Structure 1
Amino acid sequence: MKAILALEDGTYFEGESFGAAGEVTGELVFNTSMTGYQEVMTDPSYRGQIVTMTYPLIGNYGINDEDNESDEPQVSGFVVRESCNYPSNWRCQKTDEEFLKENNVIGIQNIDTRALTKHIRNQGMMQAVISTEDLNPNSLVQKAKESSLSSELVQEVTVGESYFLQADFQSKYHIAVLDLGVKENMLDSFKQCNADLTVLPADTTAEEILELNPDGLFISNGPGDPKDNPEVIAEVEKLVGKLPLFGICFGHQILALALGADTYKLKFGHRGANHPVKNLSTGQVYITSQNHGYAVKEESLPEEMIVTHKNLNDDTVEGMKHTKLPIFSVQYHPEAAPGPHDSDFLFNKFIELIVDSAA
């Protein structure tokens, strides 16, 4: 079945549909990972976005029930050069096309994803539409222009009510998790650190969090513009100095805003599994997994917050810590999935921070 991908700047690509039929709009972005397409599709941080995979062959090891980062695909649409119809892997349970179809997600293949990626890199992220119904490029471009990214994406992906998760081994700590779109591998990483978890909806108040008497608060990843969540920012601000705080990706940005700093939108974002990040205190370089379209403005950070990590591609802030309080955060994803495990020690670092602050 024919499909068209049209961008708000008038550019369009003709290809073939795979997955569900229909029409969908979203913010068009690209991811440079060679593997991990299932984790990408199910990552809540991609809510509202049409994701282009730069690696040309997607689906060659199939889909399984264990590697999802949430209960369902979160992408609005999926763009690939070629979808593999005959995956080969002992864990494979279905093809990527079957996965998209059963979850009503529209995909498009057989387009020049290299040209599309270069276009986004040069022009920046923009709204787009994929359709198998309306095949008029001019009409689709107009629809893309009239669409916009929702400001309530966090409300769409956060948990409906709180729930408890037990540590994988002997339970020693209790961490509250503010779920702004948390990935399953983040929760698994904490459970492996002997931590019980209480996962909380995004609208949980500071008072409700303190009533749980947790050893620390983790602020998760999530989709969209962090400034679209002033209520969350205000509640996190109330917790500064009350208990240890750790933020990853979107949580890093929320934490920065709660401390009085500012954030801004990147031209095309960082999405992939091989971004180099430098630890400024040791000089060590980590290869990191990333997925974000916003960054913390370094010059806006208050005096007591220092930058700990920098992105070696564009010098953006990748980590920060408080000089007096038990607070730190990183912009990248130490839990990876997909990506390298260079920085998975950061989950234990938060545990160490909890122990030190209690001493």
Structure 2
Amino acid sequence: MMKRSVRPLFSVLLVFAAAAATLCFRIIVSGAFGDILSISDTEATEKAPSVFNSALLSSAAVDLAEKSLRQNVEQLVDMDFRSDNFNRQRSFLSAGRYRLDTGSRSVRRGPMDLRSPEFYTLWLKFRRYLRDWWRHRRFDPDVMFEIVNVLKTVNMTGGLGSRRKYRTCAVVGNSGILLKRNLGGEIDSHEFVIRLNNARIGGYERFVGSKTSLSFMNSNILHLCSRRGGCFCHPYGEKVPIMMYMSQPVHFLDYALCNSSHKSPLIITDPKLDVLCARIIKYYSIKRYLKQTGKPLETWSSVHGGSEFHYSSGMQAIMFALGICDKVSIYGFGKSDSAKHHYHTNQKKELSLHDYEAEYDLYEDLVNNPVAIPFVSDKFKFPPVTIHR
């Protein structure tokens, strides 16, 4: 056994030895790996995503239309067609109000009697579609991974019917800037071409091309198409699939009526993608507003239409393309003082419910800084994006 007189001295020596070993280890680590650590820190700083403002994220995550939308869905499911909320809904195509036509007309005949067995059958389909849509309408940052499943379930073009992404995709907007350059041939060279809101291409082929793989629209377009015989809504040909987002829940009546008569697929966007797009564009809009005005965050809503603020069809079409394409090219997005708002119309004014400038900020980030885009899963890899102006 160690003598008692030696124990204190041994303990002191043991403490000093441990301290010396720790100090040496730190010096070795600092000397041997100091350069590596500093390089890693620098790379992390260069590659790390932009720091998102928590206040902006929280505000963008709030759906101002949630309460009224829920009430609207409940009324429709309960078949309360005579309520003021049903008969008076704001159109996303107009700042005015209009009495809503339910789309209650037969494909072969005139107006449909709301008390008829034919309408009751239509309403059962409508309610099923609406309930399913509402049940899945939630935020999911991983929804971008699910978009490619559309290729597996729907024969988009050429019998692909698989999860293979398209090599190159062109999303063709409707801006008048398209008339400045002859990009038609370049647009048509893409494997997959998406066009918006039934924009006319006849007579404009050298500017906008003639190939169409998917017609993307908001449901207001289908609402108008459903008034025509056979629900005709095929400016690009009857075999071109149509995809739309539901801008008003009542338009599921039009979908229920027209879906069976369409020779090509009539597809509703994933409601989770709708929610994601709404959050992203609201974030960019608030961020831009605060930077330009310096006003309090609370004032953004009153300036941007409150619950009516909405992303454009073009913005969601681009988000859809990001999920199904290896490379995305964007045409006809932007504006110029010397160009018309739409290349195919005489419309002079932009819709106040969209913040196009904020959407352009998003597109710039898609090209140059995709890590700055909020709400999308960090695991999703954005494909290369090119903007042609």
TM range (shorter): under 0.3
Between structures 1 and 2, the one with greater helix share: 2
Between structures 1 and 2, the one with greater strand share: 1
What TM-score, normalized to structure 1? 0.26
Task: Pick 1 or 2: higher relative contact order, CA cutoff 8 A, min separation 6.
Answer: 2
Larger Rg: 1 or 2? 2
